[in-house]
Structure 1
Amino acid sequence: CRRYQQLCFCFGTLCVILVLNNDNLTLVSMALKNNITMLTAENHNLTSLNEKLKDQRKNLTEIIETWNGLNVSRAQWSIDQYCPKNNSGRNCTSCQKGWNDHMSSCYAYNYQPPNQRTWEEAREDCRRKNSDLTVVSNQTEKVIEELGINGYWIGLRAVGGKWKWIDGSNLTDQTWTQQQPAIDGYCITSLNGRGWNVAVCSDKNTWICEKKALSV
């Protein structure tokens, strides 16, 4: 006859005695081994995940420290640009050095002949300066633009058969372009005293950037 063994489990004051034979003990042992294997694998996965989280935390900490450093640098740059030092301290202006203040905007004229660019290149230059090609919203701004240099890109080009500003709005006064048809691949330049002219966007011209002026 088979040899039987007893297992005793107690729950508080209640104890239960299980009588198991050798076959059942073998099954219980295998089940425990499987559980141990699974728990070991889970522990390994959790350890690996913990290490990854530590690395991510370290990387995020470095990114935050770098970002904070950049923000401080940018803040200092802004202070130096808009509030340059002089003998009497700092004198703050609405536009940074090299930009012209008009109404609520700042304008930067880029007219050095060696640095002429295509319309896209000119716009990219403006974006690097936290600005964009100028958008003219009324006749007053148009007159100011024409008092600038002899021909420069502005933020107006043909898109889908219409003259569109870079802010997505349509040109409302078609007479500003002398009723020229809007053909894709063409952009607008402003000429001193001669209004606006249609030019191929890949031509190289001077350009003007615009950004909002600060309230000081």
Structure 2
Amino acid sequence: MNRNPQGEIEEIEEEYSYVDAPAWTVDKVAAPPDQRSLFFTQSFPPIAVCWLILLVIMGLRIHFTSESNAKLTAENQQLETLMRHLNLTLLAAHENLGRYCNNLTVQFDLLTQNYTVLESKIKDLTAVNQQLETQRNNLTEQIQNMETNWNKLNVSRAQWSIDAYCPKTNNVQLCRACQEGWRLNQTSCYVVHDAVSTSGHNTWEEAREVCRRESSDFVIVHNQEEQYVLNYYSWYSTLTIGYWIGLRAEGGRWKWIDGSDLTESYWAPQRHHWAQQPPPPPADGQCVMSVQNVGWRSVSCNERKRWICKKKALSV
């Protein structure tokens, strides 16, 4: 608190005046104290308390301010750390998303290429399907024509069979079990192709084709009775000129033309032994011919021999 210098001088002068003044007697009344000193003395404690409170408040403020600043600094560091972590996480997620987008782009391109290829294949398959549909229609038409021709052929064959088995003689039609030129034996008809000249002989395959054209096939022997018939029709044969039968080598085994294996055998004597002995295991390309009163002989299928055809007789 600033004081006036002039006032201080006056106070000092007053003090000297008091010193120099004569002492008061007991009888005199005591002089009143200085009002300002008394005011200062009375007002000092409240002022000191106020200053103390102010200092405490300022100290507490500084303390709490420092503590708040420390907390804010720590929180700020935590936030900065969290922000750095979030930035790194977002950066990694952005990179992964970029790679994922690139993969999707590549897959989309591949799908586009595959779709283009599939679309081209679909067009090709559609064209092929149309061609197949056209071919199917053509085949259907051909099948219908074949059925028509087959029916006509069956009618023609039926008529031929009637004419062959039931010829007319003097306008009288008599039916027989075998057609003209065939010989009946029990329930079968036989025809013997016994040309004298070798020009009329055929290989095994050629002779069988002739039998098939006549709705027949080679003779098959499964029992003694069939062998008797075969031997009977194998006339004028020799060891070199016999008659083809339906037996040939297939896969190193003797097989009949009906697919059955050879069980009954009537081989010609081998090496001047009259006992019936089968020849060595056959090689493919070997076929069997019948020699009258001798038996069977294995020769090459490409040789030219006579042959006998057989078919079922007509029931009349």
Give me the TM-score of the superposition, normalised by structure 1: 0.68
Q: Does 1:167 align with 2:252?
A: no
More off after superposition, 66-75 vs 142-151: 66-75
CA RMSD of aligned residues (A): 2.6
Deviations 1:134-174 (A, max 9, x none): 11121111112112222110001122222211111122134
Residue aligning to 2:311? 211
Distance across 2 between alignment mates of 1:100 and 1:77: 18
Kindly tell me: are residues 63 and 189 of structure 1, through their superposed partners in 2, closer, same or farther at Cα, counting changes over 3 Å?
Answer: closer
* Bigger proportion of residues as strand: 1
Q: Which runs of 5+ in 1 are unaligned?
A: 1-48
Q: Percent identical across equivalent pairs? A: 48
Once the two structures are superposed, the pairs formed by residues 15-164 of structure 1 within 5 Å of their partners are: 62-87=145-170, 89-112=172-195, 113=197, 114-148=199-233, 149=235, 150=237, 151-164=242-255
Q: CA deviation at 1:208?
A: 0.7
* Bigger proportion of residues as helix: 2
Distance across 2 between alignment mates of 1:60 and 1:160: 37
Kindly tell me: are residues 197 and 61 of structure 1, through their superposed partners in 2, closer, same or farther at Cα, counting changes over 3 Å?
Answer: closer
Kindly tell me: are residues 128 and 182 of structure 1, through their superposed partners in 2, closer, same or farther at Cα, counting changes over 3 Å?
Answer: farther
Aligned match of 1:182 in 281, 286, 289? Answer: 281
Residue aligning to 1:3? none
Kindly tell me: are residues 174 and 93 of structure 1, through their superposed partners in 2, closer, same or farther at Cα, counting changes over 3 Å?
Answer: same
Whichever residue aligns with residue 189 of structure 2, its letter is C
Kindly tell me: are residues 181 and 69 of structure 1, through their superposed partners in 2, closer, same or farther at Cα, counting changes over 3 Å?
Answer: same
Larger RCO: 1 or 2 (CA < 8 Å, sep 6+):
1
Q: CA deviation at 1:181?
A: 1.9
Distance across 1 between alignment mates of 2:262 and 2:305: 21
More off after superposition, 178-187 vs 60-69: 60-69
Give me the TM-score of the superposition, normalised by structure 2: 0.48
- Report if the CA contact (8 A) 1:98-1:108 is conserved: yes
Kindly tell me: are residues 89 and 203 of structure 1, through their superposed partners in 2, closer, same or farther at Cα, counting changes over 3 Å?
Answer: same
Corresponding pairs, count: 167
